Structure 1
């Protein structure tokens, strides 16, 4: 095994769009890279750049110290790993396939039973950003395994973050951030539809969205402190007042014939929080309803 972390031999199992980008990033950083894909016909460009194409997943694993798998889902990942299980002990396995924390922990248990050092990870950027300094990739699992190959993993993204020993933690962060993302873009689409129903073009509304997006980082930081403290000050804007505003949006959306199911759900949560006595508290108090307690 080489001690030169900058030139760690790596294997990439799975050459979909993301897997291809991961392999290309390793090659660009100078790592000897072996690639494998279940179906033939992928990887020619990588081979032209210096990658070695393996005939089997096991063959790819044997050529590497660091093994990265990135396929469509955990069922596919498990099938790949089972086929190479005998070759994996003594190497560090990094699974960058997206799924739930439960699936991550199940795969981790499978790896632990076989003496395989296992890191679970989540890629938080789109394919074109792989290998860029600003690219964020989460990892969770044995700290020693992460530390040993951190330099090599930085080839995939300049902002790797190790989140702890629990192999499900990366998936927790992944789903939580995607929850925020999908909720946000759904709100954006609804805003465009609401304005458009009164003849306002999306491109005319868009420049003013910065009024809100610019203060979201500080808003999120403050909300996080309130959530962890279990305290929801409503001096600046209380839930009762904000619930009224949500009601206006809901009323006008219904009047314009929009699908208001998302906004109706928000109003229901606000109403439940008010009914629990949070009318004078801040909007963060709605977490007490969302938690389902």
Structure 2
């Protein structure tokens, strides 16, 4: 079984462990023998081109999809053994598509996160209201608590959904492309917020430089297979980006945080390159700089 690594390289307890996970649909193998573990309290980024299996993997992790085979363990228990309410107390999810037309007030949407902790017909109490207020303050939305959710900007909606997740008090937060359609400032702000929460985070991220800067570990998927896993420096290499994404790039340490910073080369259409030509072209472009 895969062993998670801490920042110092020693063994760290795993919040979630996946072993030999397989899932197929309509005769296509969409996840093929995926194994990894997530260290408790760290942020794991899932990267890969469109169709790589990122969303399918996340949907298996939060039990929307039932894998064909393999095991997903949370706190050393198979996730299938948890009741729905118990699982919701452990794992919160922010999906890719937000319900933009929802008419509920922001504070009411956030209060929905209390549901796994409440009994049937149990009303919210003072502690519940304080928890909602604290979550709104944490994401910077206190001033918009009574605003209809539908009137929020894209970045504000994502923060409101994260506040709802915080009210669930989960140990693990799963996000599917949380920065989709956001301006760059709000992409950075949102991921910095998520990273600051002090819980285990698993997020699919489209922007590789954002993933490099803000994630402790990365999984690189391609066509449903796990191509690489490790620290950003271990995963984001010129060869692996060429093989998986079909791009030419150079990689240097970021001047602020020192993690890999990717600089892409251009001219694919003009060169008329097909996939087998990528590696050779990357070599020539790199040596020409």
Q: Same fold (TM over 0.5)?
A: no
Higher helix share: 1
Report 1 or 2 for greater relative contact order, CA contacts < 8 Å, sequence distance ≥ 6. 2
Higher strand share: 2
Question: How would you bin the TM-score normalised by the shorter chain?
Answer: 0.3 to 0.5
